[in-house]
Amino acid sequence: MSAPDPSTPFVRTVPDGDDRERLVCRDCGFVYYQNPKIVVGSVVEHDGRILLCRRAIPPRIGYWTIPAGYLEEGEAAEHGARREAWEEATADIALDQLLAVYTITRISQVQLIYRAGLNDPHVAAGPESQEVAFFERDRLPWDELAFPSVHWALQHHAEVRGQPVFAPRANPADATGDMR
């Protein structure tokens, strides 16, 4: 659902039975819930190397990231992760399993990051990427990564490498995701 039309009579108030302020229509009582955005992405490994995309769009233009982006309404998380890999790196990926769930409260985001491989090794920069590249683990551009959660995902991926089954990871204990 899109944001309420500014010409409608929405006011900030605590609806009956709720515990926080919401936007509520003064005329009909409709409550407009503002909820976190869901991001889906994947750490894609091929021949022991990790696929990264150099961002061509804000924020953090020119920094490296994993293929990831916002989940669309009505879209399954797994489909969104595959779509984002295609849009950013023309990568046809096979998801293995959920690698991590990160909560970034400062920007009201929940990130679902998968472990994945390639169905086809041919990749190229999509419209949201300046370039794409495969990196050996010991050559990852740690100082040029776009977001803290990209660091976490790459570290968590290394932790579970070769494990057929593992519990999904979360924000590191000492990190909230609220820093840049």
Using alpha carbons, select from 126, 114, 124, 111 the residue that is nearest to residue 37: 111
pLDDT digits (tens, 9 = 90+) for 76-131: 999 999 999 999 999 999 999 999 999 999 999 999 999 999 999 999 999 999 99
Averaged pLDDT for residues 46-59: 97
> SS3 for 134?
strand
Where in the chain are all domains bearing CATH 2.20.70? 1-34
Strand partners, 64: 54, 145
Where in the chain are all domains bearing CATH 3.90.79.10? 37-160
CA distances from 66 to 20, 24, 55, 83, 114 (A): 35, 38, 10, 13, 10
- Where does the pLDDT of residue 61 fall: very low under 50, low under 70, confident under 90, or very high at 90 and above? very high
Q: Does domain 1-34 have CATH number 3.90.105?
A: no
Work out the number of other CB atoms within 10 angstroms of the CB of residue 123: 24
Task: Please give the pLDDT value at position 179.
Answer: 40
180 pLDDT above the threshold of 70: no
**CB-based contact 102:111 (threshold 8 Å):** yes
Cβ-Cβ contacts under 8 Å for 116 (sequence gap 6 or more): 42, 43, 44, 45, 81, 85, 93, 94, 95, 96
Averaged pLDDT for residues 28-33: 90
Task: Please give the pLDDT value at position 1.
Answer: 57
Using alpha carbons, select from 40, 67, 39, 62 the residue that is nearest to residue 52: 67
Strand partners, 24: 11, 31
Task: Please give the pLDDT value at position 175.
Answer: 75
pLDDT digits (tens, 9 = 90+) for 133-178: 999 999 999 999 999 999 999 999 999 999 999 999 999 988 755 4
CA 102 to chain centre: 9
The predicted model scores a pTM of 0.88
- The CA distance from 17 to 71, in Å, is 30
- The CA distance from 105 to 9, in Å, is 29
Domain 37-160, CATH: 3.90.79.10
